[in-house]
Amino acid sequence: MNLIWTSIKQAGADLWEELLYLILFNLIWVVGTLLVIPWPFVTFGLFLVMYDVGQGKGIKFDTFFRQAAKLWKQAYVWGLVNLGLMVILWVNMNFYAALETQWARMVQIFFLGSGLAWLIVQTVVLALYPRLEQPGLRPTLRYALALLGGYPALIVTLLLFLLLVGAILLYAPVLVIFCGAAVVAAVSNRLVGNIIALELAKDDTAPN
């Protein structure tokens, strides 16, 4: 619990430190997501910039684009996989919504839960990309699942933040437009970074 609270406070400090830039980058992310094609690029840009902020590095306007350009191939592999899964999820949800049966509702709930679980995994995946020497979708996904399996509290925290952002989107969409994705990126970055640091510390203190 202390790790989670520390990560949230650190994320808040990161957001406050570069507030104007992060609001601007969040707006770029919103526009890029609406246009679909730039969505993977701007998503990686936002998470990579947040990693730099967490490392105490100074950022500029062009940092967003320079960092995203470094991993643009990985970004679009990630984007194509996730876009394909979203299409499959949308098709299945609509198909079963047309069936007026109890079991069809249960299947809908299953797909909805699966989609939310995948969203949590991808939030960790995006925070891991800048931390790997040779980032790729398969190894990054494997590391993300290992972290989530070892730290269930990470799942709960990210789930609560994603639900919070979703609720704000319904009742105050302007806040999401200005800072929603940046908040998720900041919290995920700090949580993942602190858990990795904790694991490395365990390895250093383990007997040889």
Residue 208 is assigned to a structural domain of this protein: no
Count of CB atoms situated within 10 Å of the CB of 26? 22
Residue 63's pLDDT band, with cuts at 50, 70 and 90, is very high
Total structural domains in the chain?
1
Rg for the chain, CA atoms, rounded: 18
Residue 16 is assigned to a structural domain of this protein: yes
What confidence tens digit (pLDDT) does each residue in 124-168 have? 999 999 998 888 899 999 999 988 888 887 777 777 877 887 787
Q: Domain limits at 114?
A: 2-203
Residue 127 is assigned to a structural domain of this protein: yes
Of 56, 50, 7, 8, nearest to 29 by C-alpha is 50
Query: For 22-42, what is the mean pLDDT?
Result: 95
Residue 61 is assigned to a structural domain of this protein: yes
Residue 198 is assigned to a structural domain of this protein: yes
Rounded Cα distance, 33 and 28, in Å: 8
pLDDT at 207: 52
What confidence tens digit (pLDDT) does each residue in 96-118 have? 888 878 888 888 889 888 888 89
Rounded Cα distance, 194 and 80, in Å: 29
pLDDT at 102: 86
What does the mean pLDDT of the chain come to? Answer: 88
